[in-house]
A and B are shown apart, each in its own frame.
Chain A
Amino acid sequence: MKTITLLLATLFAATAFAQDTKIGAITIDHAWARVTPGAVKNSAAFMTFNNAGVADKLISVTGSVAKEVQMHSMVTEGGMMKMREINALDIPANSKAEFKPGGYHVMLIGIPDGLKEGTKFPLKLKFEKAGEITVQVSVEKPGAQDHSEHKH
């Protein structure tokens, strides 16, 4: 029993650490990436930047998880979805910026074995002012908590 409690406490601590990382005035919340379906070798990573300080910019995201790691914008123009590489993500002062589904995201191109639910991988973030930090990104399957009649 003691072991289980300890294990749970450790797990909880690990989870809390992974989901809430801070550098300077910027808190990086819920860094996650989408599980890769089937043979797909690409994915996207998402996270929220809560900024309690001056305006900053995320100027690079790097990692060995994929052959290429790019920051992308996604816009819908005239009903057409367009993704484009961006050089930086603005993080306004005393505000927040997000990589989120349907918006700005970190595109991971060429992940050798794909991403499996429940695993984690590091991404190094470089901010213009706040400096560098490595975040642990958890691989999640969105909607997995929903009851589906269609799972075997």
Chain B
Amino acid sequence: MGCSNDKAAVKFNATDITGAAFGKTLSLNDSATQEPRTLESFKGKTTVFFFGYMFCPDYCPTTMTTLNEALGKMKPADAAKVQVVFVTVDPARDKPKILTDYVKAFNTSFAALYGTDEQTAAVAKEFKIIYQKSQVKSEFTYMVDHSTQMYAFDPQGRIRLMIRHETGADAIAQDLTALVNS
């Protein structure tokens, strides 16, 4: 029913993972409010989840900049229906206040999530994200190797796309526009 319209034929730039058996649950806290968030709490928005850490000097800020650029390329009304969510894989150093300042520095609409070590590990497992400390010099001086893929959920709260980190702002903007209007 109604499948003969254009929307059924949407071809995404990113990998379409609609119906994937993973990425079904998430239980973390919002860095701005320190209140619990789940996948359900993002329903109504097209949501992009991205896993990283603030200490990351290059890859994470590059990706956050690209996501900001992607939103800037969308119609403002569509962009307003997108929620970018940064999930820290380094909760020991990325405390809520500085985490909020960090994501808002890229775009004031961006949100960040954090959890305990256990919650972080559980979410990473659910989203097939691998992370591990490397070049450890002291308790607070280390790098974190981590998976780079992003995931996009549609406004109905279903996992839809796996976005590779090297994807450009234009391709991301196209895909998010399609999801917003799906």
Contact with A along B128-147 (1 / 0, CB 8 A): 00100011000001010111
- In the complex the two chains form, is B71's CB within 8 Å of A150's CB? yes
- Across chains A and B, the number of contacting residue pairs, with CB separation under 8 Å, is 104
Q: How far is the CB of B61 from chain A (nearest CB, A)?
A: 6
**Which parts of A88-143 form the interface with B (CB within 8 Å)?**
101-102, 105, 107-109, 142-143
- Contact residues, B136-175 vs A (CB, 8 A): 141, 143, 145-149, 165-166
Of the candidates A43, A79, A81, the one having the most CB atoms from chain B within 10 angstroms of its own CB is: A81
Does A38 interact with chain B (Cβ within 8 Å)?
Answer: yes
Tell me if B120 is interfacial: C-beta within 8 Å of chain A.
Answer: no
**In whole Å, how far is B94's beta carbon from the nearest beta carbon of chain A?**
10
Q: Is A44 an interface residue (CB 8 A)?
A: yes
Q: Are A38's CB and B72's CB within 8 A? A: no
CB-defined contacts of A72 to chain B, threshold 8 Å: 57-58
- Asked if A2 is at the interface of the complex by the 8 Å CB criterion, the answer is no
Provide the residues of chain B in CB contact with A84, threshold 8 Å.
134-135
Q: How far is the CA of A101 from the CA of B66 in the complex (A)?
A: 12
* Chain B interfacial positions (CB closer than 8 Å to A): 54-55, 57-59, 61-62, 64-66, 68-69, 71-73, 76, 79, 97-98, 100-109, 130, 134-135, 141, 143, 145-149, 165-166
In the assembled complex, 25 residue pairs joining A and B whose CB atoms fall closer than 8 Å, in A order, are A34-B57, A37-B61, A37-B101, A38-B54, A38-B98, A38-B102, A39-B102, A43-B57, A44-B58, A72-B58, A76-B148, A76-B165, A80-B130, A80-B145, A84-B135, A102-B166, A108-B57, A143-B65, A143-B66, A143-B69, A147-B72, A148-B72, A149-B76, A150-B72, A150-B109
